[in-house]
Amino acid sequence: MKKENKYITTPIYYVNDHPHIGHAYTTIIADVLARYYRDKLGDENVYFLTGTDEHGLKIAESAKEKGINPQEFTDIISAEFEESWKNLNISNNNFIRTSSEKHKRIVGDVLLKLKNSKTPNANDVIYEADYEGLYCVGCEKFINESELVDGCCPDHNRKPEKLKEKNWFFNLKDFLPIIKEKIESNELEIYPKTRKNEVLGLIDKQDLPDFSISRSVKSVPWGIDLPWDDKQKCYVWVDALLNYITAIDYPGGENFKKFWPADIQLIALDILKFHAIFWPAILIALDLPLPKRLAIHGFFTIDGKKMSKTLGNVVNPNDLVDKYGADATKYLILSQFGFGSESDINVSEFSAKYKADLVNGLGNLVNRVTNMVQNYLNGKIDIKLKESDLVKDVSEKIENLNFREALLKIWESIKYLNSLIDEKKPWELAKIENEKENLKNILQDLVLGLYNIAISLKSFMPVKSNEIVKILMSEKIVKPETPIFPRLN
């Protein structure tokens, strides 16, 4: 059965951290895809989900430090994420919070269902066992001795705690052969391919232990109740992964029936194992189809350095929006590096790039073209504005997640048109009587070129794109009173 709609998700962001440019990057990409597919398939056929992950020991600890209860704490931080996405003009259809009643209720139902299910080898999916291990509160997970650096978790630089408790476990082993098969056959596509190989390697190594789906209430009091054991809470990762189906009202809701399986689940590299192995296992146990594509982006540095609170180089997306506006911020971030690669965001170059590419590049082109059409053609053109190969080319690149390449292609076109103006010098042709027709043709070509640039930018810079299209489509083309991209103070 062919699914003529798209379900696009970002990870839900853990509220132990304030929104930063890393969260913004993933969210902007999801937004570009959502806008692109809405245009192609219709608004009602795209569902874009983001939200916040709100349970776990780390949250309880942070709330305690602030002297408030965990719910109050998550309310505050979750609102920061919603606010940031509003500022960035993100077009999500839903914003899920894992502390919401609906999510908690459905997670409870799912857990019970898993408890009553069998693995492909007819074993119980969920079983009880003792677990003893080292637990990093920073990661919210058990950590192997071999992963420690100087006795500390390398990601959090803190000593893990020794934990021994009775937990409920998920029988992952029995699902691995099917997961492997589905990944190999691309039924679950893992993109880019290097990550696919990484996941397959992990499965082949055969040291993926069953994972626990619960924590003792004593050690992790802030979480979703386990329906059959009041001494245990649901492990925050299981709770978090289920957001992708609770948000669309699994099992019986209209949105669930329409949109599952997800078409593109965007994630960062650090949560690959959870999404490529644990998540498919849970879905198979629930007898649900797997997401079609997991798209993984690598880590990036900020001006060559790892982003960290200690270095003070954490970039707040709201600051970027204040300075450059939402559309320009999206451009500046996405034009930095190709999706999937590990690279650098040159924030220190943003001002220069804003000036070069937006003020003097696209903005100036809009000014020049509209000004000349206004002066030499009285604002009138007599051609039909239709889409060119540029639009087709950019669409293809978006579908293949080549966002940076799409933008490079558009900016090639902007540079070309600006240089064409320099070369043809329409202002000189305007002085020559028998060049009138030639002048008109040149200007109309410029309008057509600019129109296609604006259309190509629709998913990336919805507001600016619309402004330009409106000017070019109006009865009489006039130069905008204020520049499309104002100069920075």
103 is catalytic: no
The CA-CA-CA angle for residues 31, 37, 38, to 5°, reads 85
Catalytic annotation, pick one of 20, 115, 258, 273: 20
Shorter beta-carbon distance to Zn ion: residue 161 or 387: 161
155/153 Cα distance (integer angstroms): 5
Q: What burial letters (b/e) apply to 261-281, b meaning 16+ CB within 10 Å?
A: bbbbbbbbeebbbbbbbbbbb
Q: What burial letters (b/e) apply to 141-150, b meaning 16+ CB within 10 Å?
A: bbbeeeeeee
234 is catalytic: no
Q: Write the CB contacts of 69 (distance below 8 Å, at least 6 apart in sequence).
A: 63
Q: Sheet containing 214-216: give its strands across.
A: 214-216, 229-234, 225-226
To the nearest whole angstrom, how small is the minimum distance from the Cβ of residue 155 to Zn ion? 4
23 is catalytic: yes
Catalytic annotation, pick one of 6, 55, 103, 153: 153
Q: Is 138 in the site for Zn ion (CB under 5 A)?
A: yes
Residue indicated by tokens 């129109």: 451
- Centre a 10 Å sphere on the Cβ of residue 340 and count the other Cβ atoms it contains: 18
Q: Is 363 in the site for Zn ion (CB under 5 A)?
A: no
Shorter beta-carbon distance to Zn ion: residue 46 or 153: 153
392/409 Cα distance (integer angstroms): 11
Q: Is 57 in the site for Zn ion (CB under 5 A)?
A: no
Structure tokens at 426: 């329409």
Shorter beta-carbon distance to Zn ion: residue 146 or 378: 146
Structure tokens at 468: 């330009």
* Helix ranges restricted to H, 308-359: 317-324, 326-334, 350-353
Q: Is 161 in the site for Zn ion (CB under 5 A)?
A: no
Shorter beta-carbon distance to Zn ion: residue 57 or 63: 57
Binding Zn ion (rule: CB under 5 A), the pick from 29, 107, 136, 347 is 136
Shorter beta-carbon distance to Zn ion: residue 155 or 184: 155
To the nearest whole angstrom, how small is the minimum distance from the Cβ of residue 154 to Zn ion? 8
Binding Zn ion (rule: CB under 5 A), the pick from 153, 183, 190, 461 is 153
Catalytic annotation, pick one of 309, 392, 415, 436: 309
Q: Is 155 in the site for Zn ion (CB under 5 A)?
A: yes
Binding Zn ion (rule: CB under 5 A), the pick from 139, 148, 269, 286 is 139
Catalytic annotation, pick one of 6, 23, 196, 297: 23
- Ramachandran angles phi, psi of 51, nearest 5°: 165, -165
Q: Is 107 in the site for Zn ion (CB under 5 A)?
A: no
To the nearest whole angstrom, how small is the minimum distance from the Cβ of residue 235 to Zn ion? 16
To the nearest whole angstrom, how small is the minimum distance from the Cβ of residue 14 to Zn ion? 12
55 is catalytic: no
Residues that bind Zn ion (CB under 5 A): 136, 138-139, 153, 155-156
List the catalytic residues.
Answer: 20, 23, 136, 139, 153, 156, 306, 309
